Amino acid sequence: MLPAILALLCAWFAVRWYVGDTIAEYAPAPDDGGRELAEMAVRWAPDDPLTHWRLANFEMRDFSATNIKAAVEQYRLAVKASPYDFRYWVELGRALEASGDRDSAEKALRRAVELAPSYSYPQWHLGNVLLRQGKVDEAFTHLTRAAATDNAMQPPVFALSEQVYGNDINAITKVLPTPALRMQFALNLVNTNRFDEAARVLRLISDADQKAQSAIGDQIVEALLVKKQYRAALSILREIEPDASHLPMLGQIWNGGFESDVPLLDPKPFRWQINPRPQAQISVDTLAHSGARSLRIVFRASARLESIAASQTVIVEPDTNYRLQFYQRTEKLATGAAPFVTINDQVFGGPLATSQPAAGGTNDWQQVTVDFKTRPQGDGIAITFTRGNCGEPTEICPIFGTVWYDDFNLQRIGGPGASGRSAGTNNR
């Protein structure tokens, strides 16, 4: 009989624990009877930390001195039932601070950090408690640890640092202990359109550290390109790019003679962006005006061809006169709307100038010249290949034949600091 009685007792307590735990986990909102169910769960499973945690949560929702005191007691019972679970220590610490007992809150949160030093939330909550106690240096030690282990914590930590230190970028950068966090702070500033402050942060990071954090640097460059901050993007690329010879110069077309490789869908900015399609097959060819290679576009479009996927973004001086020169050659080009080159404003949008359309039929290399002026505050243009307008939108407008392009060269001919010299083509 004794084993049977013991089995029944064990089963009874196991069922009570299971029922209490289930009630605590699935208890509805307080207005729907959740508090009563949570209290029942505590009675059925008094040694289950989850039941005390759930009841404490309900107490915290009704914010009053009495309820906060009751919540603290329930969190203490949860900690007692599960002393090595950092989550209950975090909740106890938050409740203690809400009750006004900051010293005990600090002790509880320090215990949570001891139990889970690599988790962000204990570090975040301890840092906040210390900050409200005026322990600024120690607070940011824990806050920055939270930001280092959890990217989602970085924006609130950066916001707190600005609340404490204001616009003192040097002080903020100093409390961020790693180059990665400092780079992330610069990225955060870029994303909030604070480009000058981002530049100041980056100047405080050594070249070696920026190169070591090149992945974050790439994110900063991408964000600057989205924000149309082209010169700033190039400046950062110069810091993180291992080989400076792979970078364009201000006012220069990169690889204008196509002598360097032109990879498809090149992820690097300020290079030729090429995406060939069956109707417009784009590749590098050995038939060249000078040098060894040129760009070839083979048109095989029996229907309308809306766009030609080849372009390059070039960094230029605002409010400045430029001259674009290049050479083109055609073979058996037949169409009512020949392709031409367009210079588009990347900052404000819209074309600045267009070249004459390529001549139909077969023609040897011919030089093409396009003069244009950049807009004030416009520091980026795009050299694009465009298809002419066929007339009516419903017109089929086929195009067949081949066009070669070579020796793209950009010259600054007027504006601030203009000298009339060729700006060069880079890698030619």
Summarize the confidence of residues 46-65 as an average pLDDT: 74
Q: Specify the pLDDT at position 33.
A: 43
Q: Specify the pLDDT at position 423.
A: 42
pLDDT at 420 > cutoff 80: no
pLDDT at 320 > cutoff 60: yes
- The maximal CA–CA distance of the chain, rounded, in angstroms, is 108
Q: Mutual orientation of helices 120-132 and 86-98 as an angle, nearest 10°?
A: 20
Q: How confident is the model at residue 51 (pLDDT cuts 50, 70, 90)?
A: confident
Q: What is the pTM of this model?
A: 0.73
CB-based contacts of 253, cutoff 8 Å, min separation 6: 312, 314, 383, 408, 409, 410, 423, 425, 426
Phi, psi of 135 (to 5 degrees): -90, 75
Q: Specify the pLDDT at position 2.
A: 66
Taking only the tens place, the pLDDT of each residue in 14-33 is 444 444 444 444 444 544 44
Three-state DSSP class for residue 148: helix
The residues that bridge with 322 in the sheet, in sequence order, are 372, 412
Three-state DSSP class for residue 409: strand
Q: Specify the pLDDT at position 31.
A: 46
The two beta strands, 280-285 and 294-301, are antiparallel
Per this entry, what is the length of the chain? 428
The two beta strands, 339-345 and 380-387, are antiparallel
Strand ordering across the sheet containing 339-345: 273-274, 310-315, 380-387, 339-345, 351-354
Q: Specify the pLDDT at position 18.
A: 42
Percent of the chain having pLDDT more than 90? 51
Q: How confident is the model at residue 145 (pLDDT cuts 50, 70, 90)?
A: very high
Q: Specify the pLDDT at position 3.
A: 66
Q: Specify the pLDDT at position 162.
A: 92
Taking only the tens place, the pLDDT of each residue in 124-141 is 999 999 999 999 999 999
Summarize the confidence of residues 106-120 as an average pLDDT: 94
Taking only the tens place, the pLDDT of each residue in 229-263 is 998 888 888 877 767 677 888 889 999 999 988 88
- CB-count burial class (<10 Å; 0-12, 13-18, 19+) for 89: buried
Q: Which domains does the chain have, with CATH numbers?
A: 10-244 (1.25.40.10), 273-414 (2.60.120.260)
- How far apart are the C-alpha atoms of 109 and 130, rounded to whole Å? 10
Taking only the tens place, the pLDDT of each residue in 364-403 is 999 999 999 999 988 899 999 998 777 666 677 889 999 9
pLDDT at 92 > cutoff 80: yes
Which has the minimum average pLDDT: 6-10, 142-146, 186-190? 6-10
Q: How confident is the model at residue 1 (pLDDT cuts 50, 70, 90)?
A: low
